Structure formats: C-alpha cells, structure tokens
Amino acid sequence: MTMDDKLKPLRVQIDAIDAQILDLLNQRARVAQQVGHVKAETNAPVFRPEREAQILRSVAERNPGPLLDTDIQTVFREVMSACRALEKRVTVAYLGPAGTFSEQAVYQQFGRAVEGMPCASIDEVFRATEAGTADFGVVPIENSSEGVINRTLDLLLQTTLTLSGEVSIQVNHSLMTRSGNMNDIKSICAHSQALAQCQLWLNQNYPNIERRAVASNGEAARLAGEDPTVAAIASEIAGKNYSLQVVKAHIQDDPHNRTRFAVIGRLHTAPSGKDQTSLVLSVPNKAGAVYNLLAPLAKHGVSMTRFESRPARMGTWEYYFYVDVEGHLKDSKVADALKELKDNSAFFKVLGSYPFSL
Ligand SMILES: O=C(O)C(=O)C[C@]1(C(=O)O)C=C[C@@H](O)C=C1
C-alpha cells in the first residue's frame, strides 16, 4: 500500500469528525447567543472571567488526552472568545503598538475575537478604560527579572477601576534588524525594561553599540523597520509586523523571564472557586505597625501570596503595601480579615477579586 492509500481512510475519519465538531461548535454558539439575549435584557456584562476560568479548569481536569491540557485550554479559550463575540465584541485597550507582549497578554486572557485598542502609554490605557472607550484594559504590573512597573502601581492607587484578572506570559526577546545581520548597525533600540533584561547578553556581544530606550519594544521594531542602521529588541511577532529578520532569538539574561499583566475594568468579578484578592494599604509610621497590619490574615487563615512595598513619595518614609491574598472578597474569612486590616490601616483600597491565572 502506498502512503496515500494509507492516509485516505484516516482523512475520511478526520473529515467526519470535523463535521461533527463544526456542528457542535455552532450549536454551542447558538446557545451563547441566547445567553447574550438574556444578558441584554438586564444590561448584564458579557465577559464573565469567573465562568471562563471555571470552564478552562474543567476541560483540563476532564481531558483524557492525548491532547495536552494547555493545548485544550487554548482551543476552548478561542471557542469562548468566538461565542462571546456573538454576544458582543469586547474592546480591550493595551500598551501598544500592535505586536507588544501586552497584545499577547490580551489574547491570552480574551482570545482572538476581541477588538484590540493599542494605546501610547499605560496612562492612556487607564484613561480609555475609565472613559468607557474600552471595556477593559491590560497593563503590565511586574516582570520576574526587573520587578514592578511603578507607573501601573501608582495608577492603580488612584483609579476607580477594579482588577478583573491577571495574565502571566513568558517574555522572549529577540534582536532583529532589516537585514538579519548587525553590519552597519549604529544603535539598538528597546523599552528600558527590555534593555535591562538583556543587559549581560548585550555587554558580552555588542558592548560598543549605543543602546537607546524608546517608548515600547513595538516602537523599537517600527524604528528598525524604517532605518537600516537601527536594531530592535522585541518579540518576533512585533518584528514580523515591520518585516524584520531575527539576528538572535531568546537574548534575555533570564531564560524564565515572565511578565504579569493586570486586567482592569469596571466589572466586579464573581467568585470562581479559585480566586485571589488584591489590595493596597498603608499604615501609620510607628513601631510594630506592619506586624499588626498583617496579623488579621493569620488569625482568619487567609494566605498571602504577594507582598510588595512602595514609598508613598511624601518624604515621610511611609509606604504603600500591595498585597495579594488567596480567596474572594465574598468568602467570609477573606471579608472578615479585610475588615480588620482596614481598621488597622491609614489607607485601604481593595483593587479587586478575580480568578488565579492559569
Ligand atoms: O456563560 C456565559 O455567561 C456566556 O456568555 C457564555 C460564555 C461561553 O462561551 O461559555 C461566553 C462569554 C462569557 O465570558 C462566559 C461564557
């Protein structure tokens, strides 16, 4: 038997299964449309992060294989994204231009069937979301090798928006130019964070080429696309957008470099069963204040998953603490612990409760 003879009956089977999948997907989409009508009657929000998180967890738990859990989740994320878009296509503002890791984070949270709105700065993402021009915003909050993104933390302090999710993505930086080599290159452009994340590699390989910090890696890719003397450090997706070729991939000093993004919006996400709550607080500047501050968490059996401090910038050596705890604001032990925390705090703000990222 030839290879074609062997493939033919297998492909007939695949065609028959695809027909069933197609039928089932459209059945699912019609039900989602009905959900959309029910929601429209009460003006209820279309995007339900807790429900999507539950579905993604459940398909991974029930997945018998051989498909990988993470691959199945990618498929279902896109199925839900497409179904959601039949109800309403949500608009998501992010730190642009297109091709940045922020855009990747948007797709990881919302799937591809969204309206992405690239913004020039983190401030603009907040403004567009606060003004309602965008339904949600996605902003970088922390990088595993470079630490927190100060501007995001400052804006979270002031905003009326809440956190409705978080996304963590692997950040791979590539060095790219129009020609695919470094001949004639006079400067290497990237966002300051990316330059810092690739510092050792650059010192070893191109110590004498000027490094130039620009607004974003996407902007660096755009500049390199226009100027044959400029190299960019950016994601390969950004490079493709501007017809760049890769000189060297994965040049970040930490191979496990990840960035965490916050999803901001006006939605108060319902409990999903595996949630966390983010808050900011400050304490009076006196002995034992931080200890007293955290005592209610231990007392009520609430685990703290993150604790970050930032100077309050009032010249008084006072700090804001960014704290994440396990559980949802609607869980009674979280609510009780937070009530006591609030009583011990000079400043207290709940940023939001949302599902743990997958
Ligand atoms: O269950 C809902 O509320 C739906 O709108 C359906 C659906 C889905 O496709 O499963 C779509 C969008 C929501 O974000 C959550 C789930």
d(CA 201, ligand 1 centre) in Å:
44
Same domain, 121 and 188: no
Answer yes or no: is the ipTM higher than 0.95.
Answer: yes
The tens digit of pLDDT for each residue in 116-151 reads 999 989 999 999 999 999 999 999 998 877 778 889
End position of a domain, from candidates 131, 150, 170: 170
The whole domain housing 279 covers 275-355
The tens digit of pLDDT for each residue in 255-313 reads 888 899 999 999 999 999 999 999 999 887 777 777 777 889 999 999 999 998 888 76
Residue nearest to atom 1 of ligand 1 (CA): 51
Same domain, 63 and 102: no
Residue type for position 357: S
pLDDT at position 274 is 96
End position of a domain, from candidates 146, 170, 194: 170
Cα 45 to Cα 94: distance, rounded to the nearest angstrom: 20
Same domain, 203 and 243: yes
d(CA 50, ligand 1 centre) in Å:
10
d(CA 70, ligand 1 centre) in Å:
20
Same domain, 13 and 50: yes
Q: Is the CB of 87 under 6 A from ligand 1?
A: yes
Q: Is 226 exposed, middle or buried (0-12, 13-18, 19+ CB in 10 A)?
A: exposed
Whether residue 334 is contained in a domain is answered as: yes
Assess whether 259 carries a catalytic annotation. yes
Cis check for the bond before 66: say yes or no (omega within 30 of 0). Answer: yes
End position of a domain, from candidates 150, 170, 190: 170
Decide if pLDDT at 51 tops 90.
Answer: yes
DSSP 327: S
Catalytic residue among 100, 152, 177, 259: 259
Whether residue 307 is contained in a domain is answered as: yes
Confidence of residue 314 (pLDDT cuts 50, 70, 90): low
Q: At 217, which CATH number?
A: 3.40.190.10
Decide if pLDDT at 100 tops 90.
Answer: no
Q: Is the CB of 325 under 6 A from ligand 1?
A: no
Whether residue 314 is contained in a domain is answered as: yes
The tens digit of pLDDT for each residue in 206-265 reads 999 999 999 888 889 999 999 999 999 998 888 998 999 999 999 999 888 889 999 999
Residue nearest to atom 9 of ligand 1 (CA): 80
Q: Which among 171, 158, 97, 164 is positioned nearest to 137, based on CA atoms?
A: 164
Please give the biggest Cα pair distance in the chain.
Answer: 84
Whether residue 179 is contained in a domain is answered as: yes
pLDDT at position 222 is 93
Whether residue 255 is contained in a domain is answered as: no
Q: What is the mean pLDDT of the chain?
A: 93
pLDDT at position 8 is 96
Whether residue 145 is contained in a domain is answered as: yes
Mutate which of 28, 47, 48, 354 to test ligand 1's pocket (most atoms within 8 Å of Cβ)?
Answer: 48
d(CA 239, ligand 1 centre) in Å:
34
Decide if pLDDT at 336 tops 90.
Answer: yes
Question: At residue 175, what are phi and psi to the nearest 5 degrees?
Answer: -95, 125
Number of domains in the chain: 4
The gap from C-alpha 16 to its chain's centroid, in whole angstroms, comes to 37
Taking each helix axis as running N to C, give the angle between helix 150-158 and helix 122-131, from 0 to 180 degrees, rounded to the nearest 10. Answer: 30
Whether residue 96 is contained in a domain is answered as: yes
Whether residue 263 is contained in a domain is answered as: no
pLDDT > 70: what percent of the chain? Answer: 98
Residue nearest to atom 6 of ligand 1 (CA): 32
d(CA 80, ligand 1 centre) in Å:
6
Comparing 75-89, 92-106, 224-238, which segment has the lowest mean pLDDT? Answer: 92-106
Mean pLDDT of 56-64: 97
Residue labelled with tokens 């989602």 = 32
Residue nearest to atom 10 of ligand 1 (CA): 80
**Radius of gyration over alpha carbons of the chain, in Å?**
23
Same domain, 351 and 320: yes
Bridging pattern class, strands 230-234 and 245-248: unpaired
Confidence of residue 316 (pLDDT cuts 50, 70, 90): low
Q: At 7, which CATH number?
A: 1.20.59.10
Q: Is the CB of 83 under 6 A from ligand 1?
A: yes
